[in-house]
């Protein structure tokens, strides 16, 4: 499913945080948002998944006007893996992932065998099948992150939003999570911090600085020494990794 955001502007506590940002994610595309801490990535994503109401702009998921549709309606099609995954009440891992099925059910409808299969499959994808009966609150940060991704997978979304999904994860699980997400073959919009990783997994990148899009396009076309210096105020050398052929960055 494709997503378009048009001229989004968000002001919080009197400060313009997102300034007239437009972007699009085609069906099956993995699109990354990169930019320094505080540049507005999470705020932009939150306006797309309806947690923050933008002052201006439009968001369409396929034909649906996201800002005018109910959260329940959107949650049938859009999955979200946010940045902070803390809970006050405890649930088992199985229960957490089963919550992903909620948008597809009527009030008080019980879990079907199909729901159980979907939850088991989602847990298997993130390699947490053995954790199904564990209490969520006892998990490590990385394990929690993978449970939240499993919940989003169990939701069977047609579009996925990820806010720094590899936070807390060691390198094995960073690669695993991004590969799992890529294998879903749905539209994905993700805020990412690791530029090399973003350049490998993303089809298109939007580079954000102080609430504005500074550049967008294929990673190989836009990630230059000059752009990275301009955005992050650091010196680096962008090169082609001789072993993988991927773009890589040496920080100087």
Ligand X SMILES: Nc1ncnc2c1ncn2[C@@H]1O[C@H](COP(=O)(O)OP(=O)(O)OP(=O)(O)O)[C@@H](O)[C@H]1O
Residue ranges in contact with ligand X by CB under 6 A: 12-13, 17, 35, 37-43
* CB of 47 vs ligand X, minimal distance in Å: 10
CA atoms of 188 and 182, how far apart (whole Å): 8
Pick 42 or 75: Cβ nearer ligand X:
42
* CB of 210 vs ligand X, minimal distance in Å: 9
Pick 77 or 163: Cβ nearer ligand X:
163
* CB of 14 vs ligand X, minimal distance in Å: 8
**96 token code pair:** 């957490």
**Cβ-proximal residues to 13 (8 Å cutoff; 6+ apart), any chain:** none
List of E strands, the chain: 3-12, 15-25, 30-34, 56-61, 64-65, 78-81, 159-163, 187-191, 204-209, 212-217, 236-240, 247-251
* CB of 61 vs ligand X, minimal distance in Å: 21
* CB of 69 vs ligand X, minimal distance in Å: 23
Pick 64 or 168: Cβ nearer ligand X:
168
CA atoms of 204 and 219, how far apart (whole Å): 6
Pick 32 or 35: Cβ nearer ligand X:
35
Pick 43 or 85: Cβ nearer ligand X:
43
* CB of 163 vs ligand X, minimal distance in Å: 7
CB-based burial, 177-213: b 16+ in 10 Å, e otherwise = bbebbbebebbbbbbbebbbbbbbbbebbbbbbebeb
**Do strands 3-12 and 159-163 pair parallel, antiparallel, or not at all (unpaired)?**
unpaired
* CB of 239 vs ligand X, minimal distance in Å: 25
Pick 41 or 151: Cβ nearer ligand X:
41
Pick 134 or 193: Cβ nearer ligand X:
193
**Residue 141 CA: distances (Å) to CA of 119, 133, 166, 170, 219:** 20, 17, 10, 10, 29
**Cβ-proximal residues to 123 (8 Å cutoff; 6+ apart), any chain:** 93, 94, 97, 129, 131, 132, 150
């Amino acid at each position: 499913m494709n997503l378009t955001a048009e001229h989004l502007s968000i002001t919080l506590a009197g400060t313009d945080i997102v300034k007239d940002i437009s972007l699009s994610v085609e069906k099956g595309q993995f699109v990354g948002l990169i930019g320094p801490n505080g540049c507005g990535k999470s705020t932009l994503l939150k306006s797309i998944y309806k947690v923050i109401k933008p002052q201006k702009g439009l968001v369409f998921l396929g034909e649906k006007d996201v800002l005018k549709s109910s959260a329940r309606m959107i949650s049938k099609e859009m999955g979200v893996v946010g940045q902070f995954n803390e809970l006050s009440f405890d649930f088992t891992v199985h229960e957490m992932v089963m919550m992903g099925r909620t948008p597809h059910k009527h009030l008080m409808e019980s879990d079907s065998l199909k729901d159980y299969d979907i939850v088991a499959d989602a847990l298997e994808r993130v390699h947490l099948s053995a954790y199904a009966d564990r209490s969520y609150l006892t998990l490590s940060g990385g394990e929690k992150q993978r449970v939240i991704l499993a919940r989003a997978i169990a939701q069977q979304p047609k579009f996925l939003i990820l806010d720094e999904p590899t936070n807390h994860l060691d390198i094995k699980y960073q690669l695993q999570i991004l590969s799992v997400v890529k294998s879903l073959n749905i539209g994905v919009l993700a805020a990412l911090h690791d530029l090399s990783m973003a350049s490998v997994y993303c089809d298109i990148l939007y580079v954000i600085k102080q609430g504005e899009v500074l550049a967008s396009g294929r990673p190989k076309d836009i990630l230059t020494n000059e752009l990275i210096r301009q955005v992050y105020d650091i010196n680096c050398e962008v090169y082609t990794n001789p072993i993988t052929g991927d773009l890589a960055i040496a920080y100087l």
